[in-house]
Copies of this chain bind each other. A is one copy, B any other.
């Protein structure tokens, strides 16, 4: 029986082959973890992973082959992280771009436990000249535009790879990672768009070269021009961003007290302030951050809310704008790029207050 008094939430299907599903982000209670509602973004069919081995090698003193059980014996680190598709909100660009038309739900919050990558690299011993660490997943296949089968592969610059919060995770919210989210092992790269957090992690290779796989040099690149690849920049840190969860866009309400609530997050430092406008951005007021003002680095999201009083009937354009501790602020218009990555314009909904 599918009836329930409070309603039930589901993922929104954007594609099935491979599976791409969006979280019902407007309805996710901020304090809850998102088990079963974590967004799914795949380039290939789900792999059959029948091995729990991780191979580490390349430009290292020695090759390592570790089992999940062996990884669990090493000192662990736990991080709570927003993972977010670089294409989140792609459908909001006023000049449309091709690819999955993600709405606002290609992001999720989760707590991941694993071994700092840094300690695995120390075990293997990096040789001189290592510039990047390359990660390959078990997932592979052909995409439109590919000329051969590729596995999903990405690299990190050494500096990010050895950051103590970059981990090889074996647990999500205290349990085995769900198969669709990368079991048995997933790289977790806090603060970066989630293309970096390679699922079904199979190999880690130290390299003196720049990795040039298609998910590094073709996809996940900001191309600011329609017809040339000039001025291309790699997609890396999360831009500062916020999403209004309530009211829903184009909702109707009675006059009187209104609540605007949502979430905000960033890839560098922490969220310092969220401001809300109920008059199309003419005036702004500070929203209340649920956790107060955070300090240092926060890879999670911050729930926020704002109360106001709608005295008059009419149409209200409600905006939210987050600012992080690096001074980065959401822009009025998102920076258009050919593949539709990194949308972070001020979030906007319309509300009709009835007579």
- Whether A252 pairs with B24 at a CB distance below 8 angstroms is no
- Indicate which residue in B2, B9, B13, B17 contacts A36 across the interface (CB closer than 8 Å): B2
- Tell me whether A45 and B5 are in contact in the complex, defined as CB-CB below 8 angstroms, given that A13-B24, A98-B251 are known contacts: yes
- Whether B7 pairs with A10 at a CB distance below 8 angstroms is no
- Whether A250 pairs with B96 at a CB distance below 8 angstroms is yes
What is the CB-to-nearest-CB distance from A157 to chain B, in angstroms, rounded to a whole number? 29
Please give me the residue from chain B that is nearest to A253 by CB atom. B144
In the assembled complex, A254 has its CB within 8 A of some CB on chain B: yes
| A73-102 contacts to B (CB < 8 Å) | 96-101
- Whether B145 pairs with A252 at a CB distance below 8 angstroms is yes
- Indicate which residue in B1, B14, B24, B45 contacts A179 across the interface (CB closer than 8 Å): B1
| A171-215 contacts to B (CB < 8 Å) | 178-180
- Tell me whether A99 and B252 are in contact in the complex, defined as CB-CB below 8 angstroms, given that A7-B18, A10-B11, A27-B13 are known contacts: yes
- Whether A250 pairs with B98 at a CB distance below 8 angstroms is yes
- Whether A144 pairs with B252 at a CB distance below 8 angstroms is yes
What is the CB-to-nearest-CB distance from A141 to chain B, in angstroms, rounded to a whole number? 12
How many Å lie between the Cα of A194 and that of B303 in the bound state?
38
In the assembled complex, A16 has its CB within 8 A of some CB on chain B: yes
Residues from chain B with Cβ under 8 Å of A99 in the complex: 250, 252
| A239-293 contacts to B (CB < 8 Å) | 248-254
In the assembled complex, A21 has its CB within 8 A of some CB on chain B: yes
- Tell me whether A12 and B9 are in contact in the complex, defined as CB-CB below 8 angstroms, given that A178-B2, A180-B3, A251-B98 are known contacts: no
Residues from chain B with Cβ under 8 Å of A101 in the complex: 248-250
Q: What 1/0 mask marks residues of chain A from 213 to 248 whose CB sits below 8 Å from any chain B CB?
A: 000000000000000000000000000000000001
In the assembled complex, A354 has its CB within 8 A of some CB on chain B: yes
- Whether B17 pairs with A13 at a CB distance below 8 angstroms is no
| A1-41 contacts to B (CB < 8 Å) | 1-19, 21, 24, 26-27, 36
Residues from chain B with Cβ under 8 Å of A16 in the complex: 6-9, 27
Interface residues on A, range: 35 or more
In the assembled complex, A46 has its CB within 8 A of some CB on chain B: yes
In the assembled complex, A160 has its CB within 8 A of some CB on chain B: no
- Whether A12 pairs with B10 at a CB distance below 8 angstroms is yes
| A39-87 contacts to B (CB < 8 Å) | 45-46
Name the residue among A13, A16, A19 with the largest chain B CB count within 10 angstroms. Answer: A13
In the assembled complex, A328 has its CB within 8 A of some CB on chain B: no
- Tell me whether A248 and B15 are in contact in the complex, defined as CB-CB below 8 angstroms, given that A1-B179, A46-B5 are known contacts: yes
How many Å lie between the Cα of A332 and that of B19 in the bound state?
33
Q: A3-B46, A7-B15, A101-B250 are in contact. List 12 more A-B contacts (CB 8 A).
A: A6-B16, A7-B19, A8-B16, A9-B16, A10-B21, A12-B13, A15-B248, A96-B350, A99-B252, A144-B252, A145-B252, A145-B254
A-B contact pairs, 13 of them (CB 8 A): A1-B179, A2-B179, A3-B179, A6-B16, A7-B16, A7-B21, A14-B248, A98-B252, A99-B252, A101-B249, A144-B252, A144-B253, A145-B252
